[in-house]
Chains A and B, each alone.
Chain A
């Protein structure tokens, strides 16, 4: 009886749905129009512009010349290299760190859990600009980080965190890791809470060590979430802008320049080369598509 009573309304609502096709569309129309105007149309425009050259609005078609220019453009190559260094160092470090922290926090016997979670998540409430400026001062030549390291006698001379090409990259990596580790941790924590505790109990009875449990149970079970966070972090890093702009301005000597910042410079700082800027921006599109595909592929193969 109960089952019949539940099925009936669903059927009648289906009929109502069929009759009111336009009611359904009216709910979603505005958002569809907005996304087409403000995402897909600019995207298409950028594609067209990537085949054009000229300054400001005086653009004319020059075929693939912009794309050829990419390969001889040292600044572009520097920006891509820098971005990939951030990507290859920062994303794995951050994801492992976030995973490790969330496994520790998931221990039911742990005290002060709420405090640790809130503290580690706290950096996510800051704006990218605000925390970047704070980091710029903390890591300045005479900044607090150097002062403390000198006082603790860990270093003999101040480190050029912002003025040395190598250390400037490290500073950017430290900054992004500080800002986003807690963010990723939250996803892992909520996923960990859905794992049945008995799996770990069985593993313990079988004598599996903590690292074996981590790599044998936790990582495989969290794979979908790890994939999600690694893709979003990759996309985020490929678009890195606010931090570099506010900590190092891309310097010293383009050592920290990112692709996004290069596009910004080409469009709004140098001589408004919109066509070429659009070409550079499409390099990010291609990279995002390729890397996301690759990450799916890697995760998929291991699943199979």
Chain B
């Protein structure tokens, strides 16, 4: 009885794990095959990886898209961490009834669906395009600004600040550090792991963001990786090998971040509900 139960547990988990991994395996294998072989359902690695890669470089502006995605994601991550950690720290360390009310109002923003904001946001950036071109439509700033501050990340930092040893605060004050000095010199280094977790979550969502960049980025020079991939996938006679190598390249940064920092990532996600 117990033995057969054990067997079914492994069988079930094995099937689920296989289904979870299979699309990845197929994507990587197909990136090495010719388009014809991919449609034939070939499941063995081929020898067309370099050719597919060359085709991708020739038909798209891959470097530009990678660079755009990197610039946007890294800038967003740095700014988001700074803004959210200052706020999370501020809300927890300088608590007052008014600040608690303000905090709760900020949390309401998590309930606002993006669909309800996208048209006004688009009009906002469109109207500023003529007077302040670097801030208008089709710029890095227009992608970053609406996504850089999230109530979720502020909430996340506030929760973690509860664990921050308050004696360190006192020590800093006695040493004559300013409040900002305490934050920068004591809080920031102490909370390294929290920052790491926040960085991973923010980087991933920024790297993978699709709908808002789709609306606001309109010229080929400003396109990000998800836009490039989506564009490649919409053709009528797709070159499967080439598209799949583009997807592999587009997935690589987030997959790497995940594998290198798996522990912090999971801690970051679950830390938000504890």
Contact = CB atoms under 8 A, between A and B. Distances in A.
B76 to A, nearest CB: 12
A110 interface: yes
Contact of B113 (A40, A239, A277): A239
Interface string A115-130: 1101111110111111
A121 B39 CA distance: 28
Interface in B109-123: 109, 111-123
B156 interface: no
Given A30-B83, A43-B117, A263-B118, A134 B13 contact: no
A285 B116 contact: yes
A217 to B, nearest CB: 18
B251 interface: yes
A28 B90 CA distance: 6
A125 B265 CA distance: 11
Contact of B269 (A49, A104, A187): A187
Contact of A127 (B146, B170, B250): B250
B73 to A, nearest CB: 11
Contacts of A136: 233
Contacts of A235: 111, 113
Contact of B87 (A30, A121, A183): A30
Nearest to A182: B20
B98 to A, nearest CB: 9
A163 interface: no
B57 interface: no
B113 A119 contact: no
B261 to A, nearest CB: 11
A239 B238 CA distance: 28
A274 B123 contact: yes
Contact of A129 (B16, B114, B149, B229): B229
Contact of A122 (B20, B106, B166, B208): B20
Contacts of A25: 90, 94, 99
Contacts of A277: 119
Interface in B134-162: 145-146, 148-149, 151, 154
Contacts of A238: 113
B194 to A, nearest CB: 16
B84 interface: yes
How big is chain B's contact interface, by range? 35 or more
A61 interface: no
A295 interface: no
A190 interface: yes
Given A23-B94, A31-B87, A125-B258, A42 B117 contact: yes
Contacts of B204: 125
A223 interface: no
B237 interface: no
Interface in A237-280: 238-239, 241-242, 245-246, 259-260, 263-264, 267-268, 274, 277-278
A215 interface: no
Contacts of A224: 273
B23 A292 contact: no
A38 B90 CA distance: 21
Given A130-B226, A277-B119, A43 B233 contact: no
A34 interface: yes
Interface string B21-39: 1011011000000000011
B199 interface: no
A128 B17 CA distance: 19
A130 B109 contact: no
A238 B38 CA distance: 34
Contacts of A39: 109, 112, 117, 151
Interface stretch (A8-16, A63-71, A296-304): A8-16
B230 A129 contact: yes
B43 to A, nearest CB: 8
Interface in B208-235: 208, 210-211, 215, 225-226, 229-230, 232-233
A128 B229 contact: no
8 contacts: A27-B89, A30-B86, A45-B124, A126-B254, A241-B115, A263-B119, A268-B215, A282-B116
Given A104-B12, A178-B19, 20 more contacts: A17-B94, A27-B87, A45-B123, A46-B117, A116-B16, A118-B262, A120-B17, A125-B258, A129-B230, A131-B23, A133-B233, A134-B27, A134-B247, A137-B244, A187-B273, A225-B273, A245-B230, A260-B211, A278-B119, A281-B116
